[in-house]
């Protein structure tokens, strides 16, 4: 824990970018003073300094929506910090997952792949739990693991056929299908997209 390299501004603060460690989603921009950084590193939970209340605060202290901090990073100039967190609930006081829930630009491209996978995965878990009528995921879940595994075999076959057809758009479509059903298998086994990241990183980290 080397806070010597952190350059606090004239108010004794440094901006903190809070990022979901699993989905990669940017959740909040907040501020920390030295004490908030120390508490964060010591306790493993997000602490900040509130400029309006002029006080140290622990995220989730009243709401329960704490953030477990997996890693704290510092930028090249030492004047900005990144918390990579595992959030227990929404980051925003409005109840939204992220504070950055308003678009300033007209374009609305798809989110990054990690976030898409995480959202699709959470949707799968919801369908498992709530069993809404007409849900494909709920039906596969009811029909059981063998049925889902057959789909994995089938979708792998469709990826192979699309690739042999040299049809990139068909391939993108079938590859997405395969990944979707793979997420279903992971969900059935109590695994998460994070487990893929863990295994792939262990093998491929630079």
Helical (H) or strand (E) element with 23: none
What is the smallest separation between the CB atom of 64 and a second copy, expressed in angstroms? 19
Q: Kindly tell me which of 57 and 194 has the beta carbon lying closer to a second copy.
A: 194
Chain mean position to CA 46: 16
The tokens of 159 are what? Answer: 């990826």
What is the smallest separation between the CB atom of 86 and a second copy, expressed in angstroms? 9
What is the smallest separation between the CB atom of 3 and a second copy, expressed in angstroms? 7
What's the rounded Cα separation, in Å, for the pair 188 and 165?
32
Q: What are the φ and ψ backbone dihedral angles of 103, each rounded to 5 degrees?
A: -90, 135
Angle formed at CA 128 by CA 143 and CA 201, multiple of 5 degrees: 105
What is the smallest separation between the CB atom of 35 and a second copy, expressed in angstroms? 15
List the beta bridge partners of residue 15: 31
Q: Kindly tell me which of 56 and 68 has the beta carbon lying closer to a second copy.
A: 68
Q: Kindly tell me which of 56 and 185 has the beta carbon lying closer to a second copy.
A: 185
What is the smallest separation between the CB atom of 141 and a second copy, expressed in angstroms? 14
Taking CB atoms within 8 Å and a gap of at least 24, the contacts of 72-78 are 72/37, 72/40, 72/41, 74/5, 74/6, 77/7, 78/5, 78/6, 78/7
- Pairing relation of β-strands 55-58 and 81-87? unpaired
Q: Kindly tell me which of 123 and 131 has the beta carbon lying closer to a second copy.
A: 123
Q: Kindly tell me which of 56 and 100 has the beta carbon lying closer to a second copy.
A: 100
- For the chain, how long is the longest CA-to-CA vector? 63
The tokens of 192 are what? Answer: 């998460």
What is the smallest separation between the CB atom of 170 and a second copy, expressed in angstroms? 10
Q: What is the CA radius of gyration of the chain?
A: 21
Q: Kindly tell me which of 132 and 157 has the beta carbon lying closer to a second copy.
A: 157
């Amino acid at each position: 824990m080397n806070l010597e390299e952190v350059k606090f501004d004239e108010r004794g603060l440094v901006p903190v970018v809070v990022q979901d460690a699993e989905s990669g989603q940017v959740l909040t921009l907040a501020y920390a003073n030295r004490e908030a950084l120390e508490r964060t590193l010591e306790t493993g939970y997000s602490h900040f300094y509130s400029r309006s209340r002029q006080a140290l605060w622990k995220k989730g202290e009243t709401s329960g929506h704490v953030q477990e901090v997996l890693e704290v990073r510092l930028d090249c100039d030492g004047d900005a910090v990144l918390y990579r967190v595992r959030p227990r609930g929404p980051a925003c006081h409005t109840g939204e997952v992220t504070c950055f829930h308003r678009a300033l630009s007209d374009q609305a491209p798809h989110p990054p792949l990690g976030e898409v996978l995480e959202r699709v995965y959470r949707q799968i878990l919801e369908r498992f739990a709530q069993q809404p009528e007409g849900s494909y995921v709920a039906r596969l879940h009811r029909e059981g693991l063998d049925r889902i595994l057959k789909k994995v075999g089938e979708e792998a076959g469709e990826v192979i056929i699309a690739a042999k057809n040299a049809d990139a758009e068909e391939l993108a479509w079938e590859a997405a299908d395969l990944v979707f059903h793979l997420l279903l298998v992971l969900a059935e086994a109590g695994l998460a997209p994070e487990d893929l990241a863990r295994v792939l990183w262990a093998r491929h980290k630079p």
